[in-house]
Amino acid sequence: MSRIGKKPVALPNGVTAEIKGQTIEVKGPKGVRSFTATDDVTLALEDGAVKVTPRGLSKRARQQWGMTRSMIENLTVGVSTGFKKELEIQGVGYRASMQGNVLKLALGYSHDVNFEAPAGVTITSPKQTEIVVEGIDQQLVGQVAANIREWRQPEPYKGKGIRYKGEVVFRKEGKKK
């Protein structure tokens, strides 16, 4: 028995779900998202909650059971509250600023890095050393944050670079004389 899969996904206020075959469409105040489940699980809408059940006892059906339930819960959280990743920049002269839909990053290169925000994601820079990535798609928000971090990952000697808020960077000891 899947401990995750057997819990029904409660729909918060203002969120509605519609099931058509193996596709579920979730509408909320932030937008609309949909997910198509495999044929190994059955989707049902009962008492304001979405229930997922496996169609057999095969290993694949049991794997898809918990995964499908998690995907549906991520849809409901995304359309109701949304997802957010916060990044912080550390280093002398490193800074970020938004100009329209483009994030301009000064990261110690000979040129500024221009990162264009993809559709469905909002990027803001409340301070020069902070970047906030928000959206309704958890995977897309995480991928955009990872792509921004990739421009200058935190290095282990001085800790300079772009890191997730609260991330601990393992520091190495430098050369000794």
**CB atoms near residue 170 (< 10 Å):** 7
Averaged over 133-158, what is the pLDDT? 95
pTM of this prediction exceeds 0.95:
no
What average pLDDT score do residues 62-79 get?
94
The per-residue pLDDT for 117 is 94
Q: Is the pLDDT of residue 1 over 70?
A: no
* CA neighbor of 56 nearest in space, from 44, 42, 37: 42
Query: Is the confidence at residue 88, as pLDDT, over 90?
Result: yes
102-129 in b/e form (b: 16+ CB < 10 A) is ebebbbeeeeeeebebeeebbbebeeee
| pLDDT of 134 higher than 80 | yes
Domains identified in the chain and CATH numbers: 9-80 (3.90.930.12), 83-164 (3.90.930.12)
Residue 17 confidence (pLDDT) above 80: yes
Between the alpha carbon of residue 144 and those of residues 3, 56, 98, 150, the distances in Å are 31, 37, 15, 10
Nearest partner of 42 among 32, 34, 52, judged by Cα: 52
Q: Which H or E run contains 142?
A: helix 138-150
What was the pLDDT predicted at 3? 86
pLDDT of residue 123: 96
Average predicted confidence (pLDDT) for the chain: 93
The predicted pLDDT at position 2 comes to 74
Name the band, by pLDDT with cuts 50, 70 and 90, for residue 133. Answer: very high
Residue 154 has pLDDT above 70, yes or no: yes
